[in-house]
Amino acid sequence: MNRAAGWVVMLLASASSSCMLFQPASLAPTSDTAVVRSSQWGAFYRGGYVRIDSISGRAPSWRNSQEVAVGSGEQTGIFAVLLCRGSEQNCPELASTNVGFKTAPGHVYVVHAQEKVNGSNQFWVWVQDQQTRAVAGGSPPER
């Protein structure tokens, strides 16, 4: 095997063993809509991502399950915190919660989660404006 082929094999092995959770973002906010995106939580040894089940009754697309376009105003999100170990194929749900938050058109909001105590399956879940970092709703960790 030549050197280039060896690098390709190494790259493919590395990519298949890492947690490839997220697709590239495809939705952009408009003058009438905001975008809500899920995020990863935790570390390699114990972590995963927040799944968006619905926002004010609107579920994500099956093609892009990590973001939803919504109108402005008061929203209610149903989010699940998933634990992933090495792949997106087997991610059990650790917690599920409803979070109220407010959106403004032209903004992107990110749903975050953080364990309250390592291994406890109890989480802070909050929604944050990506640009301003202001908390739009939910319960961020106490500082």
In this prediction the pTM is 0.79
Average pLDDT, the chain: 83
Tokens of 75: 């929203």
Of the given ranges (10-14, 44-48, 53-57, 136-140), which has the lowest mean pLDDT?
10-14
Average pLDDT over residues 95-121: 94
pLDDT at residue number 96: 95
Pairing of strands 73-84, 47-55: antiparallel
- How large is the average pLDDT for residues 27-35? 95
Beta carbons of 110 and 128 less than 8 angstroms apart: yes
CB 67 within 8 A of CB 35: yes
Q: Please list the residues that pair with 125 across neighbouring strands.
A: 113
pLDDT band at 2 (very low <50, low <70, confident <90, very high): low
Dist CA 67 CA 37 (whole Å): 4
